[in-house]
Amino acid sequence: MLALASNGYRCIAHDRRGHGRSSQPWNGNDMNTYADDLATLMDTLDLTHAVLIGFSAGGGEVARYIGRHGTKRLAKAALVSAVPPLMLKTAANPGGLPIEVFNKIRLGCITDRSQLYQDLASGPFFGANRAGAKVSQGMMDSFWLQGMQAGHKNTFDCIKAFSETDFTEDLKKFDVPTLVLHGDDDQIVPIGAAALRSSKLVKNAILKIYAGAPHGLAETHRNQINADLLAFLQT
């Protein structure tokens, strides 16, 4: 956001319910409600010609927002390391991840979520488990802190929301220029069942693949992603 705002763009970040500085309601931790929360923000601020940029589960929020509320307030959209169209392996989505993967995350969340966030940060999220990776302690600590600030019930429910929600029909409703960015070494949201499929479902999507990049490329490849997003906004 700092890079885009420094180039003259008005940048607004909302904290998903239960996360960041949001309140932590018990209910509504699902993609439909996330999208409706975003719509409330957009309507309240009366935003027009906006560009929605969604990272990871946030990409699901962008997709479901467009699916439920359309693009009348939008100029463009961007999906970054995003979960659509569907993370879960099903008969119709054989390239997805088996339910056991998400059950393991749920177990970690219930058993010792602080350690879970440390393990994710020091392992697959930033690619710190790859040979030659340069992931700072500060980067890992920031990830842990953001996780621990969120509500326990909210983050637990969010696992189901980001993994089991099918965004296929939402993606088909995109009718604005859309940029899809993804690392080909994403160990959290593998590119095969995500960006490669999304870019085919979204009409005229622009797909950019970051060679060797992990899921958390907004940190590990910040200069590249800032340049790509800025170029996208300026076209």
Q: What does the pLDDT look like over 6-19, one tens digit per residue?
A: 999 999 999 999 99
Q: What is the mean pLDDT of the chain?
A: 97
Tell me the pLDDT tens digit for each residue of 216-235.
999 999 999 999 999 999 99
> Mean pLDDT, to the nearest integer, of 110-131?
98
> Mean pLDDT, to the nearest integer, of 85-111?
97
pLDDT at 141: 98
pTM for this one?
A: 0.96
Distances in Å between the Cα of 147 and the Cα atoms of 8, 20, 108, 152 are: 30, 8, 13, 9
Tell me the pLDDT tens digit for each residue of 23-43.
999 999 999 999 999 999 999
pLDDT at 175: 98
Q: What are 14's two structure tokens?
A: 């909302």
Could you give the percent of the chain with pLDDT greater than 70? 100
> Mean pLDDT, to the nearest integer, of 173-187?
98
Could you give the percent of the chain with pLDDT greater than 90? 100
181 vs 1, which has greater pLDDT? Answer: 181
Q: Is the separation of the CB atoms in 39 and 65 below 8 Å?
A: yes
DSSP 122-168: HTTTTTTTSTT----HHHHHHHHHHHHHS-HHHHHHHHHHHHH---H
Grade residue 135 by pLDDT with cuts at 50, 70 and 90: very high
pLDDT at 47: 98
Active site positions, annotated: 56, 186, 215
User: Reading across the β-sheet that carries 74-80, which strands appear in turn?
Assistant: 50-55, 74-80, 178-183, 206-210
Distances in Å between the Cα of 23 and the Cα atoms of 15, 16, 74, 77, 104 are: 9, 9, 27, 27, 27
Residue 4: left if φ>0, alpha if ψ -120 to 50, beta else—which one?
Answer: alpha
Report the distance separating Cα 92 and Cα 5, nearest Å.
41
Please give the domain boundaries of the chain with CATH numbers for all domains: 2-234 (3.40.50.1820)
Write 114-118 long-range contacts (CB < 8 A, 24+). 114/144, 114/148, 116/147, 117/143, 117/144, 117/147, 117/148, 118/144
Grade residue 181 by pLDDT with cuts at 50, 70 and 90: very high
